[in-house]
Amino acid sequence: MIEKLLERGGDRVESADVCVIGSGGGGAVVAAEIASAGRSVVVLEQGHHWTRADFVQREDQMLPRLFEEAGMRQTVDGGVTVLQGRCVGGSTVHNLCYAFRAPEPIVDMWREEHGLDQLTPRSLEPSYRRVEANLRVKPIREDEVNSLNRLIRAGTEKLGYSGFVTHHNREGCVRAGYCILGCSYDAKQSMLVTYVPRADRAGARIYANARAERIEVEGQRVRRVLGSIVDHSGRSRGSIEVSAPVVVLAAGAVNSPDLLLRSGIANRSGQVGNNLHLHPSVMVVGIWDEPIHAYRGIPQSYYIDQFIDLARDPHSGTVLMPIAGFPVLTAVNLPGFGRRHFEHMRDFAKMGGLIVLLHDRSSGSVRNGSLGRPEIRYALEAGDRRQLAEGLVHGAEILFAAGARRVVVPTQPEPLVLERGDGLSAIPSEIGEGDAPITSTHPQSTCRMGGDPNTSVVNAFGESHEVAGLFITDMSVFPTSLAAPPQITTAALADRTAHHILARWLEFAV
When asked if residue 366 is in the footprint of another protein (CB under 8 A), the reply is no
Q: What is the DSSP letter of 53?
A: G
Residue 203 or 291: the one with the smaller Cβ distance to another protein is: 291
Least Å distance, CB 363 to another protein, is 19
C-beta separation of 222 from 20 below 8 A: no
Query: What minimum distance in Å lies between the beta carbon of 235 and another protein?
Result: 7
DSSP state of 402: T
Of 77-85, 210-218, 395-403, 419-427: span binding another protein (CB under 8 A) = 77-85
Tell me which amino acid residue 362 is. S
Q: What is the contact mask toward another protein in residues 153 to 192, using x (rule: CB under 8 A)?
A: -----------------------x-x-----x--------
Q: Strands of 108-261 (E only): list them.
A: 138-139, 163-165, 167-168, 205-208, 210-218, 221-230, 236-243, 246-249
The candidate with the shortest Cα–Cα distance to 446, out of 485, 415, 467, 475, is 475
Least distance (Å) between residue 375 CB and another protein? 6
Q: Which of residues 287-346 bind another protein (CB under 8 A)?
A: 291, 293, 295-296, 326-333, 336-339, 341-342, 345-346
Q: Residues binding another protein: what is the number (CB under 8 A)? A: 64
Q: What is the dihedral of CA 399, 405, 409, 410, to 10 degrees?
A: -120
Q: Which is nearer to another protein, 79 or 314 (CB)?
A: 79
Is 426 a binding residue for another protein by CB under 8 A? The answer is no
By the rule CB under 8 A, 65 interacts with another protein: yes
User: In this complex, which beta carbon is closest to another protein, that of residue 228 or of residue 497?
Assistant: 228
Considering only residues 78-117, where is the footprint of another protein by CB under 8 A?
78, 81, 83
Shortest gap between Cβ of 267 and another protein (angstroms)?
22
Cα–Cα dist 478/445, whole Å: 5
In angstroms, rounded to a whole number, what is the distance separating the alpha carbons of residues 476 and 488? 14
Paired strand residues for 145: 298
- Name the residue nearer to another protein (CB basis): 234 or 383: 234
Among 7, 118, 369, 454, binds another protein (CB under 8 A): 369
Question: Of 371, 421, 423, 506, which one interacts with another protein (CB under 8 A)?
Answer: 371
Binding mask 193-232 for another protein (x = CB under 8 A): ---------------------------------------x
Per rule CB under 8 A, is residue 74 in the interface with another protein? yes
List, in order, residues 6 or more apart from 398 with CB less than 8 Å away.
152, 155, 156, 159, 161, 304, 320, 354
Spatial CB neighbours of 122, under 8 Å, sequence gap ≥ 6: none
Angle at CA 144, nearest 5°, toward 143 and 149?
105
Cis ω for the linkage preceding 327 (within 30 of 0): no
Alpha-carbon separation of residue 40 from 213, 352, 443, 507 (angstroms): 21, 47, 30, 16
* Contact criterion met (CB below 8 Å) for 418 and 429: no
Residue from 1, 142, 235, 311 binding another protein (CB under 8 A): 235
Tell me if 147 contacts another protein by CB under 8 A: no
β-bridge pairing 364-368 and 374-378: antiparallel
Return the amino acid letter for 227. G
Residues that bind another protein (CB under 8 A): 56-61, 63-67, 69-74, 76-78, 81, 83, 176, 178, 184, 232-235, 291, 293, 295-296, 326-333, 336-339, 341-342, 345-350, 369-373, 375-376, 413, 434, 437, 439
